[in-house]
Structure 1
């Protein structure tokens, strides 16, 4: 990081992808806007989570916007809008409470309208991006035709637990292990974000250790994330927290988001067409039949052979194909 890493190369790549800003509800939002060379491409909003960033989608940008150049078909092309969540990356840091999942989803709908895609568009996300995308689906803003998720936030019912298959029992056991052994960061973020925020702002090594820990725990890598994600890509991700001092502000999204979830309770079934991808190393997985109980119109469901919580970085080829297959059914 200190001697060989080249941030300027990453900076040039960000600028190549039409790095832009727009103000929504008084907050400056940074986003990438990559138009496909194919005029009939479907606009797609892609939302990251923590400790991800807009750069986590970089290996999907080419195949999604220009499928022909990557051995695909022009009919699968997308125009991409990839915003940084409030308080993340080069988006502004909220100075008042309220910028949680719901307000962000409403802002994203405004963003798609502002860039000219309000009549017909789709949305995709994982982690907090999945929460925002799910909220969009429930809001049903004009033009949104469907969503794709590579993580589904859910609570198994008593009946599902009692009738779980062996594979579903393993999913439940993995979720319990995550809650018991690996979720300490989430509990700190959602209850005392300012306390740890000072440390994340003060020390690049401390920030790197805090971020790297989740890549260790949540990637499908046996605790060695460099096996599945290039070291420079990991450092790029950390830099998008360090350079704009987004460590403290980004984790406040947990404080906002978890309060929303506790207040709202279990969500009703998703009312619009949806696709779901499950990756074996994901922190929270569910079966097809459990997914069908939570989506009124589940058009696509698939389980990947490898990959974890950071699917766009670990297995971009499979996630790209799943996104294509989902929206191929809705174009």
Structure 2
């Protein structure tokens, strides 16, 4: 499988077209005093759109992203874009990091150096990793699959081929949150012979059929919280997993619409107390948005939700994950499961509840997360 070096370079025509669309945004009305209650706040979105059009320097962000060693390879019939940062230490452990939605590989860029070169950031060189950060199929600079259905199980197969067949690692670790946690779970479930362990920021729902222990009080409380969250926050997931194509026409045509759809999630799901720029600068928000825009991957990214709901049919998806598992929970309520909930599915070896940080933990709290990943994998390293 041929691996080709890759550098990001967006044509000026695409950037000029983006600017034109931004400047011609047709704004809707907004209820007086609505704030963020009805959705993305118009006043804030106008600030973002104005800065995206007149102040944001994509070329500077492109230059920074290209400082990471990037590649593309055909893996399992899908061209995958990935960063491959070699570790600086006596025996780096291979580790694949998987992002989620509405994120991109960009989310992991703060944590990559902390994991690949810990000694330069006050850590121990023995904790170094060879870090691989792919863009999910249909995201960023990876190919947009048009025929193959992209389920978590399929992505786990592709990741295994990438790590084992393309990069030559016999065994490796995996980390992820959101969709990435589901991919890491599938790696541990279906490719355990290659997995040293998995580290996740969210735990999936266990099988609760006949013969399983009744829910504890903590589990019942958690299930109730998840249901309330789904009522208030879950409309996006229902739309994306049922009629993504209808949504895509507007999001792929209007950068303002794309920004409104994604920025609301960065505000709602992060640990920002309602002030999104407490966690993310405008440049950071717009770098992620611009990756979606210039690659035209919003449709293929949300189509993954449809594929997961309609094609993830394997009964094995409910099997227990026996590989060593580390769980780090942020303060995001929907992911703050009790340990006994996770232990129904996972072989939990390390459990940590962080005092801060939300859905985008690798970007919000990279130091805290990096230390958790190092600590979990430390006893799993090959001592020879």
Shorter-chain TM-score range? over 0.9
* Runs of at least 5 residues in structure 1 that lack an aligned partner in the other structure: none
Partners of 2:66 and 2:238 lie apart in 1 by: 35
Preserved contact between residue 90 and residue 125 of structure 2 (Cα < 8 Å):
no
1:321 equivalent in structure 2? 371
Matched, 1:152 2:203: yes
For the pair shown, which has the larger CA radius of gyration, 1 or 2? 2
Aligned counterparts, 1:162-177, within 5 A = 163-165=216-218, 168=219, 170-177=221-228
2:77 equivalent in structure 1? 26
Aligned counterparts, 1:243-282, within 5 A = 243-261=294-312, 264=315, 267-282=318-333
Preserved contact between residue 57 and residue 312 of structure 1 (Cα < 8 Å):
yes
Preserved contact between residue 136 and residue 142 of structure 2 (Cα < 8 Å):
yes
1:131 equivalent in structure 2? 182
Aligned counterparts, 1:36-47, within 5 A = 36-47=87-98
Structure 1 residues 60 and 97, CA, compared in 2 at 3 Å: closer, same or farther?
Answer: same
Partners of 2:313 and 2:267 lie apart in 1 by: 28
Partners of 1:236 and 1:88 lie apart in 2 by: 14
Q: Helix, strand or coil: the match of 1:32?
A: strand
Partners of 2:371 and 2:72 lie apart in 1 by: 29
Preserved contact between residue 206 and residue 341 of structure 2 (Cα < 8 Å):
no
Q: Helix, strand or coil: the match of 2:318?
A: coil
Deviates more, 1:4-13 or 1:233-242: 4-13
Q: Given the two structures, how large is their TM-score scaled by the length of structure 2?
A: 0.81
Partners of 1:161 and 1:10 lie apart in 2 by: 51
Q: Helix, strand or coil: the match of 2:71?
A: strand
Deviates more, 1:215-224 or 1:40-49: 215-224
2:145 equivalent in structure 1? 94
Q: Helix, strand or coil: the match of 2:196?
A: strand
1:189 equivalent in structure 2? 240
Preserved contact between residue 219 and residue 282 of structure 1 (Cα < 8 Å):
no
Question: C-alpha deviations, 1:30-74, integer Å up to 9, x for none?
Answer: 111111122411010000010011010111111101000000001
Structure 1 residues 274 and 112, CA, compared in 2 at 3 Å: closer, same or farther?
Answer: same
Q: Helix, strand or coil: the match of 1:271?
A: strand
Partners of 1:217 and 1:94 lie apart in 2 by: 29
Partners of 1:207 and 1:91 lie apart in 2 by: 19
1:298 equivalent in structure 2? 348
Aligned counterparts, 1:189-268, within 5 A = 189-261=240-312, 264=315, 267-268=318-319
Shift of 1:273: 0.8
* Runs of at least 5 residues in structure 2 that lack an aligned partner in the other structure: 1-51
Preserved contact between residue 174 and residue 284 of structure 1 (Cα < 8 Å):
no
Matched, 1:309 2:362: no
Deviates more, 1:184-193 or 1:210-219: 210-219
Question: C-alpha deviations, 1:131-165, integer Å up to 9, x for none?
Answer: 11110101125432110001112158598775313
Q: Given the two structures, how large is their TM-score scaled by the length of structure 1?
A: 0.93
How many residue pairs get matched?
A: 328
Partners of 2:225 and 2:280 lie apart in 1 by: 23
